[in-house]
Amino acid sequence: MALAVEADQLVKRFSGRSGTVDAVRGVDLRVTEGEVFGFLGPNGAGKSTTVRMLTTLMTITSGSARVAGIDVTADPDAARRGIGVALQEAGLDPRQSGRELLVLQSRLFGSTAAQAADRAQELLELVDLVDAADRRIKGYSGGMKRRLDLASALVHQPQVLFLDEPTTGLDPASRLTVWEEMRRINAQGTTVFLTTQYLEEADQLCSRLAIIDGGVIVREGTPDELKAELRQRLSLAVEPSLDDVFLDATGRTRERIAGQVQEVQG
Amino acid sequence: MNQHLVLGQRAIREVLRTPESLFPTVFIPLFFLVVNVGQAGRIFPAGATSFLEGQNYAAFQVPSALLLAASFGSAALYLVEDIEGGYFDKLRAAPVSRTAIVLGRLSAEAAKSVAISALIVLLSLPFGISVASGALGFVLLLLLAAAWSVVFSGFMQLIALKSRSAAATQSGSLVFFPLLFLTPNFVPRDLLTRPMEIAATLNPVTYIMEALRSLILDDLAWAKIDRGFAVVAVFGLVMVALNVRTIRAYD
C-alpha cells in the first residue's frame, strides 16, 4: 500500500525570550492510504504541532514530511491540493452563510462558480445542513459548525483528511454524527488522520494509532496490538482498555479498586 | 486573479454585513471638518485668502477629512478576527496565493474608500465647496484617497499579522494622527513655521494631501497630482510586499 502520510525525524523548535522549547522531537510516522489513523497524546504533547507541520501551516525545524506523496516543504501548494484540514478551532467565517463559505472554499481550489455551487449543495446534503445552508454561520450550534468545517475540508475531495480534535466540546449526539461522517468519508477512500483526546473515539474509529508524549512517539500499533502488548507485559488477568494503554504510555498508571477508578502518578 | 476577486468579494460582503462599522468612518471626518472650519474659517475668509483660490476654508479642509476617512480601514481588524477564529489557517491550508490573501482585503478596502470618499465630498457640498479640476479631477480624488486607504490598511494588516491581537492593531491606527498633524493641515506648507515645514516636507502624507487639495482648489496641477500618486504607489508596493512576506513566514 502507498503511504498517505510519511514523516521522518520531524522536529519543531520554538525559540522565544523565555528560551527554547522542542515541542516535537524526532517524530517518525507512516500512514497508509485508506487508513483512519489516530494520533493521541495528553495536552501539550505535540499533537497539534505535528498536524500543523504536516498540513503546511507551520515550518519544520528539521526532518521531512510527505503528505499525499508530496514533500510539504518543497512544494507546499501541491501538498495543500491533496489534503483537507479541519483544525481544533472550527475555521469558519461567522458573517457568511454555510453555503457561501462552501462556495468560496470551492472557488479557492479552482472551481468555476457553477461547479462550486453544485459542490456546496452536495456537501450540505452530506453533512445534513441543507435547511441551515442560507443562514449566517454565527447562528449555528457547535455541532453544526463542526459539520460545516468538515464539509469545507472536503470541497476538493482530498486524498488525506486531517482532523484535529474534531469532536472536542460536542455533545454525545453531535459526536456520533461526526463519527458517522468520518466513517462515510473514509469508506469513499479518503485517508483520515485524526487527533483526539477521547480514547473511546480512537478505539471506535481508528485502524491504527500512535501515542505521542513529550514530543516523541511512545506507542504505535493497532488498538488490539497495543492492548495485547500491555496485557502481556504487565501479566494482566483482564483485557486492558485503550485508557490503560494511554496511561501506561504516558507514564501514569491506574488502579482499579472495587469498581472505582483511581489515577495515580507512576 | 480569480482567488483575489473571490476573496475581495468576501471582504466586501463582510463590510456590508457590519454597516455599523461604517458610521464612525463617515461621521468622525465630517465632525473634524465642521470643527476645523468653525474654528479657523473666519481667519481665512474666502475672498481675502489667496491660497483658497476663490473657495472657502472648507475646500481647504476636505482633503484632511478624506485622508482621515481613508485611514479608518477595518480590514486589519477583520483579519485579526480571521486569525483568532481559525479561518485564516483555513485559507493558509488551501492552495491560495498569499498575494491574493493580501490583495483581496486591500481591494475591498479601496472599493469601500471610493464609496465613502464620494459620500464625504457629496456631504461637503453644502459647505460651498466645488471640485475645481472637474469630473476627471473628482475621479482622481477618489482614486488617490482609495490608494492611501490601501497603504494605511496594509500597514495595519502588518501589525495584525505580527501581533495577532485586536488591541495592538487598534492602537496602530493612532499612528495616523501624528502623520496627519505633521502636514500642512491648516495652512499651506510655505506658511508653516520652519520646524513644522521641515517635518511636513519629510512626511509622505503631505504630498498626498497637497495632491488632493490641488484637485479641489486648482485645475489639474499634474506636478502635485503625480507626486501624490507616486508616494502611494511606492508605499503601496512596499506594504503589499511586506504583507505577502509576513504571511509566507507566518507560523
Mean pLDDT across chain A, nearest whole number?
90
CB contact under 8 A, A78 and B95: yes
* pLDDT(A265) > 70: no
Domains, in order of start, for chain A:
3-221 (3.40.50.300), 224-266 (no CATH)
pLDDT value of residue A172: 87
Query: Are A56 and B93 inside 8 Å of each other by CB?
Result: yes
> Is the minimum CB–CB distance between B128 and chain A shorter than 8 Å?
no
Nearest to A126 by CA among A90, A89, A94, A98: A98
pLDDT at A250 over 50: yes
pLDDT of chain B, 251 residues: tens digit per residue:
689 999 999 999 999 999 998 999 999 999 999 999 999 999 999 888 999 999 999 999 999 999 999 998 889 999 999 999 999 999 999 999 999 999 999 999 999 999 999 999 999 999 889 999 999 999 999 999 999 999 999 999 999 999 999 999 988 888 888 888 899 999 999 999 999 999 999 999 999 999 999 999 999 999 999 999 999 999 999 999 999 999 999 98
Alpha-carbon distance B152 to nearest alpha carbon in chain A (angstroms)? 24
Would the CB atoms of A93 and B10 count as touching at under 8 Å?
yes
The pLDDT value given to residue B225: 97
Predicted local confidence at residue B30, as pLDDT: 95
pLDDT of residue B21: 87
Residue A78 is predicted with a pLDDT of 96
The mean pLDDT value for A237-247 works out to 91
* Percent of chain A residues topping a pLDDT of 70: 94
Model confidence at A257, in pLDDT bands (50, 70, 90)? very low
* Closest by Cα among A177, A153, A200, A205 to A36: A205
User: Distance between CA atoms of B236 and B158, rounded to whole angstroms?
Assistant: 13
- Please give the ipTM for the structure prediction: 0.87
pLDDT at residue A261, rounded to an integer: 45
Q: How many domains does chain B have?
A: 1
pLDDT in tens, A105-119: 999 999 999 999 999
Whether A256 has a pLDDT exceeding 60, the answer reads no
Per-residue pLDDT at B63: 96
B124-141 b/e (C-beta count within 10 Å ≥ 16 → b):
beebebebbbeeebbebb
**In contact, B145 and B69? CB cutoff 8 Å:** yes
Three-state DSSP class for residue A173 = helix
Predicted pLDDT of residue B74: 87
B225 residue type, one letter: I
CA nearest B33: which of B144, B126, B150?
B126
Residue A197 scores a pLDDT above 60: yes
| DSSP bridge partners of A22 | A13
Q: Percent of chain A scored above 90 by pLDDT? A: 74
Cell numbers standing for residue A191: 485517508
| Mean pLDDT, residues A72-76 | 96
Within 8 A of A150 by CB-CB distance, chain B residues are: none
Answer for the pair B18, A95: CB distance below 8 angstroms, yes or no. yes
Residue B115 near chain A (CB below 8 Å): no
Q: Which residues of A touch B6 (CB under 8 A)?
A: 104, 107-108
List CB contacts (< 8 A) between B88 and chain A.
91
Q: Does the beta carbon of B5 lie under 8 angstroms from any beta carbon of chain A? A: no
* Interfacial residues of A (vs B; Cβ cutoff 8 Å): 55-59, 77-78, 80-81, 83, 85, 87-96, 100, 104-105, 107-110, 136, 152
CB of B197 within 8 Å of a chain A CB? The answer is: no
Which single residue is written with the C-alpha cell 503601496?
B236
The residues, ordered by sequence, that sit 6+ positions from B225 with a Cβ below 8 Å of its Cβ are: B140, B144, B211, B214, B215
Question: How far does the CA of residue A93 sit from the closest CA of chain B (Å)?
Answer: 6
- In chain B, residues with a C-beta closer than 8 Å to the C-beta of A107 are 2-3, 6
Q: Which of A55, A93, A109 sits opposite B87 (nearest CB)?
A: A93
Give, rounded to a whole angstrom, the gap between the first and last alpha carbons of chain A.
Answer: 39
Q: Which residues in chain B are closer than 8 Å to A87, comparing Cβ atoms?
A: 86, 89-90
Residue type, A222: T
**Could you tell me the pLDDT band of residue A252, with boundaries at 50, 70 and 90?**
low
Q: Which domain holds residue B101?
A: 2-248
| Burial profile A204-237: b = 16 or more Cβ within 10 angstroms, e = fewer | bbbebbbbbbbbbbbbbeebeebbeebbeeeeee
In this prediction, residue A178 carries a pLDDT of 86
- Could you tell me the sign of the dihedral formed by the alpha carbons of B122, B126, B127, B131, in that order? positive
Q: Does B164 touch chain A (CB under 8 A)?
A: no
